[in-house]
Structure 1
């Protein structure tokens, strides 16, 4: 049976309300858990609404916060204070009275923050906080989050076709870069959507992508200089810390020659008088 994420979100929302309205403080953790599930389902629904571009998202990225970052890169308008306004008029002209318009906020950034807050309520209270925990404050905060979600979700059946740029490939992993033209206008950092990469690009004065490389390595076979992003060497750092010296092989995009390098850590001596 096909399940709709938005329907599931409303079901978990209703369940969260029932837990919250009970007078049992122990059920507050269930209210928080159900609301987290409602937020997860809401974010998954927005991913489905990306249409053909949802296939560009890595299959191994499912956590809400990383998904929100990727959705924002495709729909930056969803991370603003912009609202969608709808009005019903009897004439051809739109109503001039603001009170006749129904406004729907579409800012999704708050979902990530609320999701993290709710996570603090689904675990056992630590011994340090056990005596000072206030269930009234928790109940009030849960009510705020639930109300905020109920308002936000009303706008989620509205969808805007993103103006995407898709003709660039990541210099780090070769994956197609996918981002909205609005990201260029806003001069935001572009990130590779691949879970295993995460290479970053800034927008320069000419409104062009500029690769943020960690360092450069000359090709051993030609005059080309290869950019190395921090994500390419990050996975080797743990090996270095335990005393190993891992190597990496870079393939030149110009001559296809391979250059072998090693990853290490340089320790500087402490200045005199410093501990």
Structure 2
């Protein structure tokens, strides 16, 4: 007996939950199996819907000629397939930033996610993400467990250009002072090396892309890379990054802490996450004039 629409919809929901777990576990074989099952369930759902609609509903279920013709080639179907059960882009960014441990650019976030996870993350899609997150926070407050927010400049407390951060981080970690870009770079290197260590310990060899990412970090950290070795050693990268970070850590921490204190005293919650309005915007909102 054919499954009902309700049963098929429950199966689709269950499969999407399983797919998310398989993707997070980086189990490629299981991910492929679940995707096949999803496609079969979706086809069965379409057939059941057509049967339920009957002859009178045929026109409603028929796709326009152009999309239907292109679907027979297979290319559009491959483009659309990842949207079924795929991880939301904000969650992808959250996972990458959690791994990196410090504010990062969309390009680095994308490279990191693609190095360690099975799905791609297109950096250009992050352009409007922070604005969407700010609108959501303004409307709902702390309704979500986390938000993708801004890093803040240490002097004006405005959004640091081209950097994303997590709302769950303390303000100090999201402040960008004169020494912070290098300090955060070293934090990124440590986070990448530690993730490779975790994978290795768990018996899951790190992908080649992850090693290439670690090599990019190691090449610019004194003592982190042995040119004679086929791959950088995570332990060595971590030690070298910590050694360099210690040189400027005290001064960088002081600058961040001072800026964070000003942010907490002067800014509302939404501004602490997404930055104060630049002076030009503030004057315009206040009805002022610019010379």
The TM-score normalised by the length of structure 2 is 0.23
Bigger relative CO (Cα 8 Å, ≥ 6 apart) = 2
More strand by share: 1
